[in-house]
Chain A
Amino acid sequence: MSEPAATLPPDGPPPGQKLTERPHPLTPFIRGWIVLLAVAFSFGRDYLPIGQEPRPLPPLEWIVAGVAAIAAISGAVGFVSWRFTRFVIDADELRIDTGALFRRSVRIAFDKVQSIDVVQPFAARMFGLAELQIDVGSSERSKLRYLQRGRAYALRDYLLARARGVQAEAVAHAPTDSLLVDLGADDEVLVRVSPQTLVLAAVTSHEFFGIVALGVVSAVAGLVFRQPWVLFALAIPTISMLFGFTVRRVAGQFNYTLSRRAHGLRVSRGLTSLTSQSLPPRRIQAVQLSQSPVWRRLGLYRIDIEVIGWGAVTDDENKTGVSTILMPAGTIEQVRVALGAIWPRADFESVELHRAPSRARWLHPLAQPFLRWGHDDRLVVSRHGWLVRRWQLVPHARVQSVRITQGPASRRLGLADLEFHTAGAQIDAHAAGLDAGQVLQRQAELLRLVHHLPGRDLSEPDPLPAGDGDGAANGGDDQAAGPETLRADQAEETISSTE
């Protein structure tokens, strides 16, 4: 690898000599706009006579003055924060300086960058701006907001390339014509989910029917107790919940696209705020496929993933725009493509599955016919669930510990459960209703597989042809240890040549 990093003096040049950048000058306006929207929303709710008596209105001048003051203050704060924010992303370093009173300078090692998301909230999007979020695996993400969209994409591509140890020039991002997706000309689209499918999936999901059932049960209760007004009191919130749920699902995952480009996988989605999230396959700990009752007829599946450092992300997305939904809804072919993209060396369908013994019916009366579990040399696969069917896939390479559990009822029936612990507690991977006589042997097999992992991680694609730059130059046995080792080697090289 070339070594511009090595030619630098260890301290780096004094600040000021270096070309630093500021975020886009419109940034304070957009941040002020968001504050203004929030204020308008909270005040507006009080003024609209929904449900309760409208409060007495203060005089109009007061309101205008108040809003103007808030806008001015937030604008001033935004301006100062923009004025003192500078960043450097060049061949040598990635540094972000912020803060007027408390100066803060964050410097991030290129090879520690885990993933980079480009988020475009609605207001920023109207001006063609985007926010860059840099994930280094800790809970706090560094954010750069707002940059011009093209610049954000270019920086993202550059940082991802550097994270892989490629000493690249800042790649010019292939221009994107569409506002709705983030796709360059050289991107390979793997899975795309149409809005129609999203709507269909949302209105046939078990969450949707759950809300309906809640409404129906309450309505019936109201009728039984001869309080017909309950019907009206319930109909409106139920319908608004259903509407809200559907809109959230569809808008959040609108135009969902999983694509592959030179430096990794990417998910882009969203209607009002477009999120483009890079996906680090090595950090995916476990995968869960799930299927609501109606989806079985439609042949739809949803994929959730558990990723180190993303924390517990709920169903939809967290405030940084990250979502642990790998695929909101798709057919089995799309599932195969998506799983093939993250784990090219594993095939969950070829894993031989064992049935649960028929006496497990006593413990799992409805799920027993569906209970299965099994493993091959890459994956543990467990199937369970009655209403919502789930397939849990855990690679041996990510299993932290294996536990046998047995409650009093299982003991009577000669059954036991197995738990597979991974880093992250979102997908609680386990296999239920195993024959107690064999479970110890199974545990031993799983442990043996954890200790004897195949040379290449299941998330690594087949070796690239030599000279492709992406680590293939190292060749031989070093390569089998994976990109981590490669990066560590390079880091050592950089350190030694600096000295």
Chain B
Amino acid sequence: MSDLFTPTAEWRRLPDRYAVVRRLGALLYNVATTIVVTLGVGLFVDWAWAAAAAAAGLAWTTWRVVRAGRWVRSFGYAEREQDLLITHGLWHKQLTAIPYGRMLSVTVESGPIDRVWGFARVELVTASAQSGGSIPGLTASEAAALRDRLITAGEAQALPL
């Protein structure tokens, strides 16, 4: 397949299991936010508005939980010869190309929910805060291997800043 956001390359996708992590993360974050906002509105304004806030919060949560699976399927990355391609997004699709030579560092991180399922996130850090070269949903060994490959490629092809 080759369309605008998946040009010909060896694309790697995230495992479907990662959608579970994303759902759980969205659920916890959204429910916590909703509770805080609802209590805040209820205590300082009016409980009728608080109910509206809670309803909106729940709708938003449901939306995110339902979409998580599709978002995970939309995510892909490809290691090309000279650059890393990352694509994701459902409505606002994007395809980012980061030359390995622009690498400043590579970080691997995994949060508490990630760790329960054994996932880690690898980020290719450039001098730009907008690059967003972050790949979630990798297993620990995949993440370490990807990190080493990125570092090697980045050092071999370093471009002047």
Residues on A close to B: CB < 8 A?
A: 308, 397, 400-408, 411, 416, 419, 421-425, 436, 439-440, 443, 447, 450-451, 453, 457, 481-482, 484
Nearest CB in chain B: distance from A357 CB, A: 15
Tell me if A450 and B159 are in contact (CB < 8 A).
Answer: yes
With A400-B127, A404-B5 already in contact, the answer to whether A443 and B160 are too (CB < 8 A) is no
CA distance A457 to B161 in the complex (A): 10
Besides A400-B127, A425-B130, 7 new A-B residue pairs in contact (Cβ under 8 A), listed by A number: A400-B102, A401-B96, A401-B98, A401-B131, A403-B96, A408-B91, A421-B131
Cβ of B127 and Cβ of A436 under 8 Å apart?
A: no
Chain A residues near B102: list those with CB within 8 A. Answer: 400-401, 450
Task: From A406, A416, A425, A440, give the contact of B129 (CB < 8 A).
Answer: A425
Closest to B87 in A: A404
User: Which residues of chain B come closer than 8 Å to A453, judged between CB atoms?
Assistant: 159-160
B112 to chain A, nearest CB (A): 30
The answer to whether B97 touches A451, judged by C-beta atoms less than 8 angstroms apart, is: no
Complex alpha-carbon distance, A254 and B144, angstroms: 56
Cβ contact within 8 Å between B130 and A447? no
A194–B124 CA distance with the chains assembled, in angstroms: 47
Contact size range, B: 20 to 34
Pair A439/B98 contact, Cβ less than 8 Å? no
Task: Assess whether A405 is in contact with B99, with CB atoms less than 8 Å apart.
Answer: no
User: Are A440 and B99 in contact, CB atoms less than 8 angstroms apart?
Assistant: no
What is the CB-to-nearest-CB distance from B80 to chain A, in angstroms, rounded to a whole number? Answer: 9
CA distance A425 to B130 in the complex (A): 7
Cβ–Cβ < 8 Å partners of A424 in chain B: 128
**Cβ contact of B95, chosen from A397, A403, A422, A457, cutoff 8 A:** A403
B4 near A451: Cβ-Cβ < 8 Å: no
Which residues of chain A have C-beta atoms less than 8 A from B130's C-beta? 400-401, 403, 419, 421, 425
User: B159 and A407: CB pair below 8 A?
Assistant: no
B→A interface (CB under 8 Å):
4-5, 7, 82-83, 89, 91-99, 101-102, 126-131, 133, 157, 159-161
* Interface-central residue, A403, A443, A447, A450, by most chain B CB under 10 Å: A403
The chain B residue with its CB closest to the CB of A403 is B96
B126, A404: Cβ atoms under 8 Å? no
Is A451 a contact of B82 with CB atoms below 8 Å? yes
Interface of B is mostly: loop
Query: Smallest CB-CB separation from A422: which chain B residue?
Result: B128
Would you call A423 and B127 a contact (CB within 8 A)? Answer: yes
User: What A residues does B4 contact at CB under 8 A?
Assistant: 404, 406, 416, 436, 439-440
Q: Considering the chains assembled together, what is the distance between the CA atoms of A397 and B127 in angstroms?
A: 13
A447 in contact with B82 given A401-B99, A401-B126, A403-B94 (CB within 8 Å): yes
| Contact in complex: B128, A401 (CB < 8 Å) | yes
A233 CA / B128 CA spacing, docked (Å)? 46
| Given A406-B92, A421-B130, A440-B7, also A457-B99 (CB < 8 A) | no
Which of B5, B130, B133 has most chain A Cβ within 10 Å? B130
Q: Does the CB pair A402–B160 fall under 8 Å?
A: no
A451-B160 contact in complex given A403-B94, A436-B4, A440-B7, C-beta closer than 8 Å:
no
Nearest 7 A/B pairs, CB to CB: A423-B127, A400-B128, A421-B128, A401-B98, A401-B131, A403-B96, A421-B130
Choose among A308, A416, A419, A447 the residue that contacts B127 (Cβ–Cβ < 8 A).
Answer: A308
> Are A450 and B5 within 8 A (Cβ)?
no
Which residue of B has the minimal Cβ distance to A408? Answer: B91
How far, in angstroms, from A162 to B76 measured CA to CA in the complex? 49
Would you give the shortest CB distance from A429 to chain B, in whole angstroms?
A: 10
Residues from chain A with a CB closer than 8 A to the CB of B161 are 308, 423
8 contacts between A and B (CB under 8 A): A403-B130, A406-B92, A411-B93, A421-B128, A422-B127, A422-B128, A423-B128, A451-B101
Select which of A308, A407, A421, A484 is within 8 A of B160 by beta carbon.
A484
User: With A and B bound together, what is the CA distance between A439 and B102 in angstroms?
Assistant: 22
Residues of the A chain whose Cβ atoms lie less than 8 Å from the Cβ of B82: 447, 451
Decide: A443 near B93, CB < 8 A? Known: A400-B131, A422-B128, A425-B130. no
Report A310 CB to chain B, min CB distance, Å.
Answer: 14
Within 8 Å by CB of B126, from A400, A411, A425, lies: A400
